[in-house]
């Protein structure tokens, strides 16, 4: 069997977003499932949209998520001569040609005819090496793909959608190489996937319409027999209504769109990431894996290793999935409970070494995010200043019994001796100890606080 080699190929035009992370995840799962190789390829062929820091952000995000890169990053911008060599091969074979039309000229065409397409029908009336055999290469030019004149059927055999048939007459003469000598996505993508011996191209559904162009390129390069298998993933949709999930939708619904916090170098705008918002990578991975894929069983919780084991492309769904942040939060809760050691480590900086673990035990069922521990457990390290309506007789007695008995017995004893029902005293006692009316089990709370501290807080109410 052919070695499984996949690539995650983002373009560094901004921060990696959560949908991109899912694409990376599915690639990774497939690779690891078959002991294959995961390659990171940076598709930075658009010099105008390049955003500094984006590549580092992508790498850091993958690392946080637990997606391990075996090869790369490979930067396409550093491979210019390679693409040039291959596009010349196409030129020589008559499958590509030079075009000199300016942006303005093409815009005018589109304005005049909204259905305008640079293709076999229109190319002879445009300005290119086909229509003008005496062309002059000292002028700026692009190299365009020459779609065959006679219409043929191009079948994309998609692992998720089955056979999808396109007519080559719908494919236009796409630019393969831009006037700055950089390849476009289509050229670079096909050349690199071939050169890197990619076995499976797993990418977003937005690429499906250009898949026939890619197949034609493989064909004219003579690589069709080793062409990778394609799988076009359903899109991640915004939570309400329809449409592709965007940063704006996420902001509106109040959840992060990026794995990590990102400061846009152009606008200086800061967008909080999942990591900083308190999500555990395990939760995000589990959640993302199940958005569009399912194991066919009723298991919901998966570690990365379990995902690798259970994953299969066949079980990826076809329809777009709406992003439900509530479910992500539920996963987060689950993983907080499960990842005790990791969470306790976080808690040390807030509660100290001694208290970190007991605080975890007291609050673990009450929190959604790690940072919730800090807010909900504040009173463990800070004395509340709220005044409670206390029964002084009972509280004074409690001060005494606390010297001799464990907390539960001390309360019972003090209640019995003063004739106060303990039930009535729980609320004021809670306010006394925590400053609030809700919280974890009071006895447990007292144990964490310690008898000394409990007595001090009670005394505060009596003065």
Partner RNA sequence: GGCCCGUUCGUCUAUCGGUUAGGACACCAGAUUUUCAUUCUGGUAAGAGGGGUUCGACUCCCCUACGGGCUACCA
- Residue from 444, 454, 441 nearest 383 by CA: 454
The answer to whether 343 and 374 are in contact (CB under 8 A) is: no
Two structure tokens written together for 297: 């069983």
- Interaction between residue 266 and RNA (CB under 7 A): no
Give the whole-angstrom CA distance, residue 272 versus residue 201.
31
Q: What angle do CA 290, 294, 296 make, to 5 degrees?
A: 150
Stretch that binds RNA, among 30-38, 61-69, 277-285, 289-297 (CB under 7 A): 289-297
Q: Decide the pairing of beta strands 37-42 and 5-8.
A: parallel
Stretch that binds RNA, among 271-279, 286-294, 377-385, 394-402 (CB under 7 A): 286-294
Any contact of residue 138 with RNA (CB under 7 A)? no
The residue from 51, 59, 91, 106 that contacts RNA (CB under 7 A) is: 106
Interface pick for RNA out of 34, 86, 98, 118 (rule CB under 7 A)? 118
Which of the residues 207 through 236 are near RNA (CB under 7 A)? Answer: 207-210, 234-235
Minimum CB separation of residue 463 from RNA in Å reads 25
Q: Does residue 244 have an active-site annotation? A: no
CA atoms within 13 A on the CB side of 41: 27
Residues of span 356-395 touching RNA by CB under 7 A: 365-366
Secondary structure of residue 23 in the 3-state scheme: helix
User: Judged by CB under 7 A, which of 94, 265, 317, 406 binds RNA?
Assistant: 317
- List binders of RNA among 62-101 (CB under 7 A): 101
What is the contact mask toward RNA in residues 416 to 455, using x (rule: CB under 7 A)?
-----xxx--xx--x------xxxxxx-------------
Residue 175 interacting with RNA (CB under 7 A)? yes
Out of 59, 63, 89, 205, the residue judged to bind RNA by CB under 7 A? 205
Does 112 contact RNA by CB under 7 A? no
Among 125, 242, 267, 268, binds RNA (CB under 7 A): 242
Q: Is 275 in the site for RNA (CB under 7 A)?
A: no
Nearer to RNA, 89 or 329 (CB): 329
Choose between 182 and 283: whose C-beta lies nearer to RNA: 182
Tokens of 362: 């007291």
Q: Which of 337, 363, 338, 339 is nearest to 350 (CA)?
A: 363
> Is residue 300 at the binding interface for RNA, with CB under 7 A as the rule?
yes
Look up tokens 């990578």; give the residue.
Answer: 281
In Å, how far are 64, 119, 160, 330, 354 from 280, measured between CA atoms? 9, 49, 30, 11, 24
Q: Which of 174, 238, 247, 413 is catalytic?
A: 247
Determine if 251 is a binding residue for RNA (CB under 7 A): no
Among residues 463, 457, 405, which one has the least CA distance to residue 428?
457
d(CA 36, CA 53): 29
Cα angle: 263, vertex 78, 145; to 5 degrees: 105
Q: Give the pair of three-digit tokens for residue 365.
A: 């069922």
Active site residues: 247
């Amino acid at each position: 069997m052919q070695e499984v080699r996949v690539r995650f190929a983002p373009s560094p035009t901004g921060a990696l977003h959560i949908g991109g992370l899912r694409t990376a995840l599915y690639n990774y799962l497939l690779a690891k499932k078959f002991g294959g190789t995961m390659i990171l390829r940076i598709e930075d062929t658009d010099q105008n949209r390049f955003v500094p820091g984006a590549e580092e952000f992508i790498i850091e995000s993958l690392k946080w998520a637990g997606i391990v890169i075996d090869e790369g990053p490979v930067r396409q911008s550093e491979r210019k001569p390679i693409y040039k060599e291959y596009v010349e091969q196409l030129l020589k074979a008559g499958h590509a040609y030079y075009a000199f039309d300016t942006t303005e000229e093409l815009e005018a065409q589109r304005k005049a005819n909204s259905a305008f397409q640079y293709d076999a029908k229109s190319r002879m009336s445009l300005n290119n090496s086909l229509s003008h055999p005496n062309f002059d290469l000292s002028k700026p030019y692009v190299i365009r793909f020459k779609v065959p004149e006679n219409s043929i059927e191009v079948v994309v055999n998609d692992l998720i959608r089955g056979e999808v048939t396109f007519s080559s007459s719908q494919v236009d003469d796409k630019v393969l190489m831009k006037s700055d000598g950089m390849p476009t996505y289509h050229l670079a993508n096909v050349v690199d996937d071939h050169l890197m011996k990619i076995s499976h191209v797993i990418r977003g559904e937005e690429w499906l319409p250009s898949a026939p162009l890619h197949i034609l390129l493989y064909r004219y390069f003579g690589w069709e027999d080793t062409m990778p298998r394609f799988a076009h993933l359903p899109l991640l949709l915004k939570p309400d209504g329809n449409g592709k999930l965007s940063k704006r939708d996420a902001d509106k619904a109040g959840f992060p769109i990026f794995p990590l916090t990102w400061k846009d170098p152009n606008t200086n705008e800061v967008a909080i990431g999942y990591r900083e918002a308190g999500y555990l990578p395990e939760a995000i991975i589990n959640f993302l894996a199940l958005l569009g894929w399912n194991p066919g069983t009723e298991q919901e919780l998966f570690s990365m290793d379990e995902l690798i084991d259970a994953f299969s492309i066949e079980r990826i769904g076809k329809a777009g999935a709406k992003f439900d942040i509530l479910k992500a939060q539920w996963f987060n809760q689950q993983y907080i409970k499960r990842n005790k050691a990791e969470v306790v480590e976080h808690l040390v900086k807030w509660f100290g070494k001694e208290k970190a673990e007991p605080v975890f035990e007291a609050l673990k069922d009450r929190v959604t995010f790690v940072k919730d521990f800090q807010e909900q457990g504040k009173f463990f390290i800070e004395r509340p200043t709220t005044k409670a309506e206390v029964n002084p007789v009972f509280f004074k007695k409690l001060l005494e019994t606390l010297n001799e008995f464990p907390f539960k017995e001390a309360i019972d004893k003090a209640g019995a001796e003063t004739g106060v029902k303990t039930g009535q005293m729980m609320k004021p006692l809670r306010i006394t100890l925590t400053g609030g009316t809700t919280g974890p089990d009071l006895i447990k709370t007292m144990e964490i606080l310690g008898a000394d501290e409990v007595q001090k807080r009670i005394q505060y109410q009596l003065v």
